[in-house]
Amino acid sequence: MPSHLTAFQMWLVLLSVFSLAAATRAEDAPADPSRLTLDRIFEGDEFKGEDAPVLQWMKRRGGYTTLEKPSGKEAGRDLVWHDPASGKKEILVPAHRFIPPGEESPLSVEGYAFSDDEAKLLIFTQGKRVWRLKTRGDYWVLDIAAGELKKLGGTAAPSTLMFASFAPDASRVAFVRANNIYVQNLHDMQITQLTTDGSEKVINGTFDWVYEEELHLHNGFRWSPDGQKIAYWQINTAGVREFHLVNNTDNLYSQVQVIPYPKVGEQNSSGRIGVVGAAGGDTSWLPIPGDPREHYVAQMDWVGAGESQRIVLQQFNRLQNTNRVMTVNSTALGQVKELFKETDAAWVENSNANLRWHDDQKKLIWISERDGWRHVYSISPTEDRATLVTPGKFDVVSVEGVDPQGKWIYFLASPDNPTRRTLHRARLDGSEVQRVTPPDQTGTHTYNISPDGKWAIHTFSTFNTPPVVDLVSLPDHETQQVLVENKELKERVSKLKQPTTEFFRVTIGEDVQLDAWAIKPPDFDATKSYPVLFHVYGEPAGQTVLDRWNAKRHLWHLMLAHQGYVVISVDNRGTPAPRGRDWRKVIYRQVGILASADQAAATRAILKERPYLDPQRVAIWGWSGGGSMTLNALFRYPDLYRTGMSIAPVPNERLYDTIYQERYMGLPGDNAEGYRLGSPITFASQLQGNLLLVHGTGDDNCHYQGTEALINELITHNKQFSMLAYPNRSHSISERKNTTRHLYGLLTRFLNQNTPANP
């Protein structure tokens, strides 16, 4: 140690070393099997649950199929058919049938789809990620009876085909390659190119970043029921300003990825719908009213089986407060008919259950909040009438399936507790609603329902219980077979010191109660003083207060409880909790403002109600929207929150994309003050506590740009903070070796050092 250091300076250095050593010991500590450590959670498979079977229901034959390892030493996986009624299994395609001609090893099947007659199988392999999902890869077709395996795409480069799908008669397959649509004949393998204008800016049959991310659109074309035509989206990004992601580490010189990304108030891409003959020819463009850059075609399909003339589509205006449903005759293109229109003073939800026909294609299933609750309606366009299918003061969370014979619709809801999810069914005429999930089962339930509505793969978990997956019959909900028990994981979790967990409500004034959960240390003593860590999200895209298993994140929270922290999460107003329209939409034009005020009010109330929580040791953390909310908490309420860990935030709402941010905030020209006051960067000068910023430089969603802008603002006001940038990691900060373990180690050390459990 240099001799010129004063005694005081040497003391500071030693204190720092001891603090770091203590933090390291807390992070990796003892080999006590009853306590969690980062290595136990994030390295190895000690707390890895069983993989749920990936299955597909068969429409014609009934039952379902799974991919399973052969019983012998054979490589690959068999495609196995299961009969739910008898439990009978049959190998439909043995693993060796997936071996391409001239090869020795079977294909690594990453996805598959049956033709309508279930005689052929479309196989996806060698998948590559495009934005969020692996949607680009190789496709093969297997004739199941003949055993003939053919690769699609001709001389196309490996892993360049997207969204291959059979024609209704299974004689051809359509796919997208390099933003053009192709059809390949399965008899002679001849390929016909249907579009020729595809380029970096003209996208046929798939979508740009913002349509995929915010409207959840992927496959952008639809076969007509007679197989003679294909309707498709064309997205033109010309004029959309480009965002650059810079990769500085993978090569000697930096590489740049260019993404057309429309930020708030900027020009959108143009979207339109075309119809082209499956044998080739010119595209006919549907005369959809309105400026295509100021509207979104959020859904599109042919009207239904046996109808190959009319296309039905759903169009939002840019503010997304008006949703028009219309049909267009693909032959007589002047015939555009508006079936009905949904409006809202805030925004209209985009439900994937919409545009589902029933009653012999006469009526549409539709989700609406017109009476203050999210309900299912049966819309009769010819009669201009809407029938309420799910009456009552509760929200439908999602439509899960339809029993076409019994004329029931199955849906998830939470009539009594918005932190849970249970299955219900209603007659399509609105005459009866029933709960299907047994009344003694709490927690969160999800279902994959068979096309005939008689069976479901049922997944159930609670906050402290890992998932169980079973096959149930409907509507009696009788278990036929347990598919995933997670017995070993449950046993390992049960051997841990068990923190006390509770769900509760906190009153913040004006008769507003917020849902919350808390995890307390195993040896909790109400006479002692504990630090508290709040986990927050708080935006319209998700809830944190749910009675379901949250895997490794939940285990990390348990580890912190083992260290002596109380961990709490609160859902503010504006989150998508099933508590009515007004609950969700009260935050319109004030995202970041009302939500952070709710969080702060809840924190104050909790501290008052629970005197064992130390008001001098209050920390908060969150990711994405939760990262933004963490910044809002730390900047707006510096007297309340002492430590904040913000991951991948959007510090300035003007830097996010059009579809998401404008949906909830309106246009910046009409709500400039809302955007200013809703952005945490506006209040950066008020920082007093300990701030950790974390961001992936390759984040194509919430750009690293926002964190850099915040850094500049903090420097301007001479505010000290800590930060770590993960090179080339995306929004999930999960790519490359050891990233997740490193990230949670960083969070743990920062929390231990700045909000210690044992000061």
Q: CA-based angle 236:239:240, to the nearest 5?
A: 80
Backbone angles phi and psi of 407, in degrees to 5: 60, 50
Q: How many CA atoms lie within 13 A of 58 on its CB side?
A: 20
Model confidence pLDDT, tens digit, residues 192-206? 999 999 999 999 999
pLDDT at residue 356 in the model: 85
Write the burial class of residue 726 (CB in 10 Å: 0-12 exposed, 13-18 middle, 19+ buried).
buried
Model confidence pLDDT, tens digit, residues 393-426? 999 999 999 998 889 999 999 999 999 999 999 9
Output the average pLDDT for the chain: 93
Superfamily designation of domain 496-754: Alpha/Beta hydrolase fold, catalytic domain (3.40.50.1820)
Segment 310-330 mean pLDDT:
94
Domain boundaries, given as residue ranges, for the chain: 496-754
Amino acid letter for position 171: S
Q: Which residues pair with 622 in a beta bridge?
A: 646
**Residue 384 confidence class, pLDDT cut points 50, 70, 90:** confident
Model confidence pLDDT, tens digit, residues 585-642? 999 999 999 999 999 999 999 999 999 999 999 999 999 999 999 999 999 999 999 9
Percentage of residues in the chain with pLDDT exceeding 70?
A: 96
Backbone angles phi and psi of 207, in degrees to 5: -140, 160
Worst-scoring range by mean pLDDT, 257-261, 336-340, 566-570, 649-653? 336-340
pLDDT at residue 36 in the model: 96
Helix-strand-coil percent breakdown of the chain, rounded to 5? 20, 35, 45
Could you give the CA distance from residue 556 to residue 542 in angstroms, rounded to a whole number? 20
Could you give the CA distance from residue 399 to residue 498 in angstroms, rounded to a whole number? 36
User: What is each CA distance from 412 to 168, 394, 579, 707, in whole angstroms?
Assistant: 31, 11, 14, 38
Q: Would you say residue 676 has pLDDT above 90?
A: yes
Could you give the CA distance from residue 291 to residue 271 in angstroms, rounded to a whole number? 9
Please report which residue ranges of 190-250 form alpha helices under DSSP H.
Answer: 209-215
Could you give the CA distance from residue 353 to residue 116 in angstroms, rounded to a whole number? 22
Could you give the CA distance from residue 381 to residue 623 in angstroms, rounded to a whole number? 43
Q: Which residues of 552-575 are buried (b: 16+ CB within 10 A; e: fewer)?
A: eebbbbbbbbbbbbbbbbbbbbbb
Q: Which residues pair with 459 in a beta bridge?
A: 446, 469
Confirm if 118 and 58 have CB atoms less than 8 A apart: yes
Segment 733-744 mean pLDDT:
96
Could you give the CA distance from residue 509 to residue 602 in angstroms, rounded to a whole number? 9
pLDDT at residue 28 in the model: 54
Model confidence pLDDT, tens digit, residues 161-179? 999 999 999 999 999 999 9
Worst-scoring range by mean pLDDT, 10-14, 262-266, 423-427? 10-14
pLDDT at residue 352 in the model: 77
Could you give the CA distance from residue 569 to residue 547 in angstroms, rounded to a whole number? 12
What is 611-649 written as a DSSP string?
A: TTEEEEEEEEEEETHHHHHHHHHHHH-TTT--EEEEES-
Backbone angles phi and psi of 710, in degrees to 5: -65, -40
